[in-house]
């Protein structure tokens, strides 16, 4: 039986970036772009029309170039609760991620635009989010861990070791190898760290690229 394709709605005000990301998405036989937009209104109305499985959007778009992508994503999720969201941003500002994930992380991803250069990771993140998983860029996690956040003083000794490796930008797989633990154990430590950062207040899985409910 053929695997059902995942419909993607893509939003970015930069035509060249939009076309480039679309070309990357269409490399996957499991993903297809069903619509594109360049501003807040286009995202909301376009998703209402196409009802995609996942929205991939930039953060800053017209009309004010502030945080239209995040606001549009929240509006889309309000109207279409089953739609996954991947934010692609050039900013590793943790406040954007906190704003996106404040009500839970299931079905959400926040990746830096450089991440799309690793096509496999990017496509895996899009598929994971579409199926209810989550993906948070290691650079954003590092910014969160490196900041002043309530709860980090409550980390266990092992979680402090994991957090230190996160700030170096290591993936869960690399952390597992460095600490001689299983990848699943590394992912568990990461979830606990993010819980203590307040990013998983509803008990939903919070993770970064390469992890989630179907991680292998």
Q: What is the pLDDT of residues 69-102, one digit of tens each?
A: 999 999 999 999 999 999 988 876 667 777 777 6
Please, how many CA atoms are within 13 Å of residue 107, restricted to the half-sphere of its CB?
17
Per-residue pLDDT at 39: 94
pLDDT exceeds cutoff 60 at 3: no
HEC string of the chain? CCCCCEEEEEECCCHHHHHHHHHHHCCCCCEEEEEEECCHHHHHHHHHHHCCCEEEEECCCCCCCCCHHHHHHHHHHHHCCCCEEEEEECCCCHHHHHHHHCCCCCCEEEEEHHHHHCHHHHHHHHHHHHCCCCEECHHHHHHHHHCCCCCHHHCCHHHHHHHHHHCCCCCHHHHHHHHCCCHHHHHHHHHHHHHHCCCCCCCCCCCCCCCCCCCC
Q: pTM of the predicted model, to two decimals?
A: 0.76
List the domains of the chain with CATH numbers. Answer: 6-137 (3.40.50.2300), 140-196 (1.10.10.10)
Coil, strand or helix at 11: strand
pLDDT exceeds cutoff 90 at 49: yes
Per-residue pLDDT at 50: 96
Place of tokens 């376009």: 46
Give the range among 8-17, 36-45, 54-63, 107-116 with minimum mean pLDDT. Answer: 107-116
> When comparing pLDDT for 68 and 91, which is higher?
68
Distance, CA of 196 to CA of 215 (rounded, Å): 22
Q: Is the peptide bond before 215 cis (omega within 30 degrees of 0)?
A: no
Positive or negative, the CA dihedral 127, 58, 137, 95 is: negative
Per-residue pLDDT at 214: 42
Mean of pLDDT values over 14-29:
90
List, for residues 167-208, the tens digit of each pLDDT value.
Answer: 776 777 888 899 999 988 988 888 788 777 766 533 333 344
Per-residue pLDDT at 127: 86
| Closest to 185 (Cα-Cα) out of 151, 203, 211, 153 | 211
Here the tokens at position 169 are 């930008």
């Amino acid at each position: 039986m053929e695997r059902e394709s995942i419909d993607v709605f893509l939003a970015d005000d930069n035509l060249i970036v939009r076309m480039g990301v679309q070309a990357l998405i269409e490399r996957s036989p499991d993903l297809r772009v069903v619509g594109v937009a360049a501003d807040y209104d286009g995202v909301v109305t376009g998703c209402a029309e196409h009802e995609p499985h996942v929205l991939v959007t930039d953060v800053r778009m017209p009309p004010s170039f502030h945080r239209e992508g995040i606001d549009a994503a929240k509006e889309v999720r309000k109207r279409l609760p089953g739609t996954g969201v991947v934010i692609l941003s050039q900013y590793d500002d943790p406040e954007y991620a906190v704003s996106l994930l404040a009500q839970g992380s299931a079905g959400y991803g926040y990746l830096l635009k450089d991440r799309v250069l690793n096509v496999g990771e990017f496509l895996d993140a899009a598929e994971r989010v579409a199926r209810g998983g989550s993906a948070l860029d290691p650079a954003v996690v590092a910014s969160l861990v490196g900041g002043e956040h309530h709860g980090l003083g409550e980390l266990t000794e092992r979680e402090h070791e994991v957090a230190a490796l996160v700030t170096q930008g290591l993936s869960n797989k690399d952390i597992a190898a460095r600490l001689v633990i299983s990848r699943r154990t590394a992912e568990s430590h990461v979830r606990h760290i993010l819980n203590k950062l307040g990013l998983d207040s509803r008990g939903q899985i919070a993770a970064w690229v390469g992890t989630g409910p179907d991680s292998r």
